[in-house]
Amino acid sequence: MPNYPRRGPLRRPGASSAHRLRWVQPPAAPPTPSKVRISGWHEYPPDRIACRIDAPNGAIGRWAEDEPLAENVLTGITLSDEIPGGCKDSGGILARDPRLDFRDEEVFGRVKFYQPGVSKVWEGYLDKAPDVSGDQMSISPACVGNQKHLEGNSAIKLGIIDCDLNKWVGPSAQRRQNLIGGNRPHQQEAEVTFGPVFGTGLRFSVSDDWVALLFPRARLGTTVKAYLSELYMGTGSKVMATLCLNYMFVLQTTRLQLDLKAQEIITLQLVGQSLGDQPVLTSSTHLLLGFIREPLQAQRATHSGSPLTTSR
Amino acid sequence: MGRHGLLLKGTWPNVGYTDKQILEYAIPQVAAPLEVDSESIEDSEYIIPQAWYTEGTAADMVRDVTKYSSWMDWFVYDGLKFEYRKPGTYGKFWKAYVGDSNLNSLGEDSSRLWESVVVSYTDADGSTRTVGPPGSGAGYETPELKLSDTDHPAVRAELTRRDILDLRGLGTPATAITVGKRFLEEANLLSRSGSATLSGYVLDAYGVFWPAACVKSGDWISFVDSSDPSYRKIVGKNYTHDSRAAEIDVDAPPQGLEALLERLQADLIPLGVA
């Protein structure tokens, strides 16, 4: 490193009388000339790094190489980051007695590394504060970036959109039990079939008695919105198709474009939402049938009637 | 569809949600305390047809959602704010010299120069399908999966340099083509990858000195006296304060191919050189 003063803010010569004096008498060892041609010489900006930690217990600590207390002097600082991801990890060594408790050493404390001028260079939280034994007592706090919060839950459940037909399965044990209680004679597996219908399209159908209990009997006059929210909150992802079924029925009874909408399962939901105040006109079990990824034009050209068929 | 109330995008049957929609909704749900706001998430406008997660972490979900637009960057730099941005719209631009920074470029490697790719994926009905360039024998052929740039060594040598990219999970022809194109573009960038060490101070684009610790991944750096002085993206940084040195990876990390495949959530099945 160059042997000249490096601490303090960047100053230009001529800014004050003190600096003019120093400019007239430069230090014995001038800095290595920069490859950028600038007349005169300038101090490099300071490059000290300080760490602030906000522990979950409310304690606030400052660890830095210029701290007056030896226990707060942080050496061997390392910082890393990556793209994609952002701040990755950081570490250092604190000359602390591992036998003592320090309030600012709590795991999950928020950590920020600053440059002079409070320019933040790294941010994350304290992950580990292991003890280190050796010729001197010290600890090595290890921090991880806030991107690590993405890995906090290793069993997320998030459903946005699913077009995987293989996830359709038969009724659960509980549903079969309910079927027995509901005095339903048929207990067989739901039938799930795939196959090309009109060349490039796929046909998907599920039918059996297990579908029946997915639909609580609706009272005459119940609105679609109230009926569907009850279904929605009470069952799992399979209900999505049953929602479509209900919309189909409503659409059928209200004489809308059934042949167009019956194959657009997702669109059906949107259309159905606008029909939320229409009364449910049925209380019986319906067909569960959807056309997935079937080109509309092919469907229209080769299938003149309603795409709905009943399994019961 | 899940119970999220997001507005469906696209035209049937190519419907789905954009990455901006999904990330804005999902991050607060599954990755608290991370936050998002509308300004911190940019939209690649690519419509994602399949996003259903019943296991794994939020990081897995983010990688899966962003694989179709892997040229976009996601990161958490500013507090707890999750950001998803186009490269070059954030960060700083730096300048350095080849000698001072010990620039090591990986250089070209024939095993990493693909002129075309066949993408295999699992269709919604469970069958395995393929898309590929014309003449590849794939189920669906498109010229989008073949490079025509005559500066590319394999194109110039008129060699077939092709592997199979196997997408994990469900796909459609559109998503397979998108991922295949991203693979061709980014895999051929690996030749520009390299590493450098910035010691002490580094110059920004305006000639101002900054401590090397201020350099961040996602910034861009130009080695002004190299044969290629164009700006390169910094994708990784390790800073050691004792030596005031920041070791950076540019354009792609040394283990770039593995990282790229991880980002695309795909596996590469080699076919060899023909």
- Among A156, A292, A300, the strongest candidate for a mutation testing the B interface, having the largest count of B CBs within 10 A, is A156
Radius of gyration of chain A (CA): 35
- Among A49, A52, A82, the strongest candidate for a mutation testing the B interface, having the largest count of B CBs within 10 A, is A82
In the block, residue with structure tokens 């050209």 = A301
Cα separation, B268 vs B161, in Å, equals 13
Cα separation, A89 vs A112, in Å, equals 12
> Which of B59, B170, B172 is facing A150, going by the closest CB pair?
B59
Tokens linked to B210: 């900054």
Q: Among candidates A224, A230, A236, A239, which has minimal Cα distance to A281?
A: A224
The better pLDDT of the pair A35, A201 is held by A35
Which residues share a beta bridge with B105?
A: B194
Distances (CA, A) of B227 to A116, B163, B192, B194: 36, 31, 12, 14
Query: Is the per-residue pLDDT at A3 higher than 50?
Result: no
The better pLDDT of the pair B21, B226 is held by B21
C-beta atoms of A121 and B213 within 8 A: yes
The residue of chain A nearest to residue B55, with distances taken between CA atoms, is: A155
- Identity of the amino acid at B195: S
- Among B94, B239, B255, the strongest candidate for a mutation testing the A interface, having the largest count of A CBs within 10 A, is B239
Minimum distance, in Å, between the CA of residue B270 and any CA atom of chain A: 26
User: Which pTM does this prediction carry?
Assistant: 0.64
Supply φ then ψ for residue A170, to 5 degrees: -75, 180
Cα separation, B118 vs A300, in Å, equals 33
C-beta atoms of A49 and B213 within 8 A: yes
Query: Is the per-residue pLDDT at A219 higher than 70?
Result: no
Residue numbers in A near B31 (CB within 8 A):
149-150, 152-153
Read off the pLDDT band of A303 (50, 70, 90): very low
C-beta atoms of B59 and A147 within 8 A: yes
- The answer to whether the CB of B142 falls within 8 A of the CB of B96 is no
Taking residues A26-45, report their average pLDDT. 63
Distances (CA, A) of B215 to A115, B171, B200, B218, B237: 12, 38, 11, 9, 8
CA angle B151–B155–B159, rounded 5-degree value = 150
Query: Is the per-residue pLDDT at B66 higher than 90?
Result: no
- The answer to whether the CB of A72 falls within 8 A of the CB of A86 is no
What ipTM does this complex have? 0.80
> Which of A119, A162, A232 is facing B52, going by the closest CB pair?
A162
B103-159 pLDDT per residue, tens: 887 667 777 778 888 888 887 777 788 888 988 888 888 888 888 887 788 888 888
Minimum distance, in Å, between the CA of residue A249 and any CA atom of chain B: 19
Q: Among candidates B204, B191, B249, B35, which has minimal Cα distance to A81?
A: B249
Minimum distance, in Å, between the CA of residue A41 and any CA atom of chain B: 13
Which residues share a beta bridge with A144?
A: A89, A125
Cα separation, B172 vs B65, in Å, equals 15
pLDDT at A175: 65
Distance from chain centroid for Cα A305: 44
Cα separation, B221 vs B230, in Å, equals 8
- The answer to whether the CB of B231 falls within 8 A of the CB of B222 is yes
Residue numbers in B near A113 (CB within 8 A):
213
CA atoms within 13 A on the CB side of B87: 20
Query: Is the per-residue pLDDT at B242 higher than 90?
Result: yes
C-beta atoms of A164 and B50 within 8 A: yes
